[in-house]
Structure 1
Amino acid sequence: MKRVSVDDVENSIQPAAVMRPLTDALGLTDVALNYYELEPGDSFAFAYHSHEVQEEAFYVISGTATFETEDGPVDVGPNEAVRFDRGEFQRGWNRGDEPVRALAIGAPLEYGNQVKLRYCAACDAETDAELTATSGAEDAVVANCVECGAETGRWVRGSMGGEVP
């Protein structure tokens, strides 16, 4: 048995105020588990995306998460869960006024290829994005368009979710 307090797991740089990756903390080998707290306007993910290999489920503890899907937006409220199949595009947001607390569960642990669609102003289109972590003076995650290389997003440690303008 392995037990961990969510509050003892370091907050990751994400488009959410809080994202605590529980996978390694619990020593999980076959499933990914993440705890999220989204302030209004925050997202679970850096982009509208799909996973080649992994299916993903979200359990909303409190608040209401709105997921962008190919069929339109889907609201998932407290004590509800939603599942996305392999290859199915989605991105979850907190579009409300109250915080959202949720768990994200993915299996198998590996994503396979992941398509991450973000709007690129230089291309004037939704394009796949490459994410890069930086370190040093500014710990950040930066999204760049794979077509032209333009920066399409930046998230900085301590920014409490949301994108840095």
Structure 2
Amino acid sequence: MEKVEIDDVRNEPNPLGVHGVRRPISDALGTDDVSMAFYELAPGEQFSGGLHAHHDQEEVFYVLAGTATFDVGTERESVTVEEGQLIRFPPGQFQSGRNETDDPVRALAIGAPGARHNWADLESLIPCPECGEVTSHGVREPTDDGRMPVYCNECGNELV
């Protein structure tokens, strides 16, 4: 058995700088089969760096406080998730979440199976300056200096 206080879990924000508070609970608990992270989003902050899909995990967000807005699917259907509500994304469904309000959002993100996703199974839809349009991008494992290399699946161009 492992027990932790969320405030005692180290803060490890996304290397893309899209939020200030992300606490990897699964690391602190030493989980093998489930991933959990606590987020606190200030107004305008995001859970991740844009529209993406985890092809190897389903993901559930539980909003503990505030109101989060998610874009769902490649059509970017907007869904509001309020305090006490949950939203589930099956493996392969594109999604992106953010705080569009003036109040902080506190939420848990839960992914399974596995305490970590395979970086090769993460896909983002973002503009490629080389291709001149929105294309599918892969993500490499974060580097020791905190960079998260993103590359275009069409032309291979790497973004920093």
Q: With structure 2 as the length reference, what TM-score do the two structures score?
A: 0.82
Contact 1:68 1:92 (8 Å CA) reproduced: yes
Aligned AA (1:127):
T
**Shift >6 Å, 4+ stretches:** none
State which of 8, 22, 27 in structure 2 corresponds to 1:24: 27
2:92 is the counterpart of 1:84: no
Q: Secondary structure of 2:148's match?
A: strand
**Which residue of 2 is the match for residue 68 of structure 1?**
71
Q: Identical aligned pairs, as a percentage?
A: 40
Aligned AA (2:106):
R
The alpha carbon displacement at 1:142 in A equals 4.7
Cα deviation code 1:100-152 (max 9, x no counterpart): 1100001101535121112223432222334453445xx4435443435252x
Q: Secondary structure of 2:23's match?
A: strand
User: What number of residue pairs does the alignment pair up?
Assistant: 150
Contact 2:149 2:158 (8 Å CA) reproduced: no
Taking the aligned partners of 2:128 and 2:78, their CA distance within structure 1 comes to 22
Taking the aligned partners of 1:49 and 1:142, their CA distance within structure 2 comes to 15
Q: Secondary structure of 2:47's match?
A: coil
Aligned AA (1:19):
R
For structure 2, the 5+ residue unaligned runs are: none
Contact 1:64 1:76 (8 Å CA) reproduced: yes
Taking the aligned partners of 1:145 and 1:53, their CA distance within structure 2 comes to 20
Aligned AA (2:13):
I
For structure 1, the 5+ residue unaligned runs are: 155-165
- Pair 1:91–1:60, CA change in 2 (3 A): same
1:1-80 alignment, distance < 5 Å = 1-14=1-14, 15-70=18-73, 72-80=77-85
**Which residue of 1 is the match for residue 152 of structure 2?**
145
More displaced stretch, 126-135 vs 9-18: 126-135
Q: With structure 1 as the length reference, what TM-score do the two structures score?
A: 0.80
Contact 2:122 2:139 (8 Å CA) reproduced: no
Over aligned residue pairs, what C-alpha RMSD do you find?
2.0
